Amino acid sequence: MNETSDPQPPATQLCRTSVLAAMFAVPLCCPPMTLLATVTGLVALRQIRRDASLHGRGLAWAAVIAGVLSTLVFSVLFWRNGLNTLWRGPNPPVSALLQARPAEMPLHWSGPAATATTQVMQAFAAPLQARHGAFRQARNSASRLASLQQDGKDPVITVPITLVFERAEVEADLGLERFDARGGGVVMKWRNLRVLDPGLDNPVFPPGDPGPPPLAPPAPGKPGTSLAPASASPLR
C-alpha cells in the first residue's frame, strides 16, 4: 500500500523589511528615524500579507506602533518648545507690543518683555506711530536675510523683520531667545526688538535691554544679512 505523504507547509523566512523597520524604531528620540520605522513597518506588513512564506508580522506592527507614538510625542514637544513661535512669525508678538496688549506678552515674549506694563508698551509705541502712522502688521523682511554666521553660543539670534505702518515700512531686528544662558533650558520666545529708525535713535524694547545682536554686513560674494539700507521707507 502506497503511503501518501502530507503536504509540507511552505518554508517560512523572516521578512527583512520587518527587521529594518524594527531597527529604525530603536532610536525613539529621533523623529525622522521613527517616521521611517512607521513607513517601513507598513511596507513589511504589505509584503507579509502578499507572501505566505514570510513571517515577522509582530515585529512590523511593533515598529509601526512605536514609530507613530514617538513621532506624535516629539512633534508635540517640538511644537510646545518653539516650533509654534517660528510658525506664527513676527506679527503676533509685535502686534501685542505695539498695540499694548499686556495679557498676550507672556505667550510670545521672554524676560522683562513678558512682564512689560501697558504704560511701558505705550511709551515705546507712541513715537513710532506718531512718526509713521498706525501700526498694521509685522512680517519677515523681504529685503534682508537672516545671517548664516550668527554666534551659535549666543542664546539670542536676530531675525530681520519689517514693521508696516500706515505711512511707512520700517525695518527692525527681532531677537529670538533660543535657550536660557544660565540654566540652559529651551526658551524659543522673542526676547527683544530694535527698530532701525535713525530718526528715533533706533529704539529698543524692552527699555534698558541691549537689543538683538546686530547683523553684520555681508561678506563680498557671500549670502548677506542686508540687501538694502535698514531705514524707514514710505508706503506706495
pLDDT at position 124: 97
Task: Report the DSSP pairing between strands 54-55 and 13-14.
Answer: parallel
Exposed e or buried b per residue across 181-192, where buried means at least 16 C-beta atoms within 10 angstroms of its C-beta: eeeeeebbbbbb
- Residue % of the chain over a pLDDT of 70: 75
pLDDT at position 134: 97
Distance, CA of 99 to CA of 189 (rounded, Å): 19
Which of the four pLDDT bands, split at 50, 70 and 90, describes residue 230? very low
Angle in degrees, CA 49, 51, 56, rounded to 5: 65
Q: CA dihedral in degrees (97, 98, 100, 105; nearest 10)?
A: -10
Which of the four pLDDT bands, split at 50, 70 and 90, describes residue 87? confident
For residues 158 and 175, is the Cβ–Cβ distance under 8 A?
Answer: yes
Phi, psi of 114 (to 5 degrees): -65, -25
In the structure grid, which three cell numbers stand for residue 161, read together? 523683520
In the structure grid, which three cell numbers stand for residue 9, read together? 507547509
In the structure grid, which three cell numbers stand for residue 142, read together? 523681504
Q: pLDDT for 120-168, tens place per residue?
A: 999 999 999 999 999 999 999 988 876 655 556 778 889 999 999 999 9
Domain map of the chain by residue range? 13-86, 89-234
Residue among 69, 25, 71, 17 at smallest CA distance from 46: 17
For residues 194 and 202, is the Cβ–Cβ distance under 8 A?
Answer: yes
Which comes out higher in pLDDT, residue 35 or 203? 203
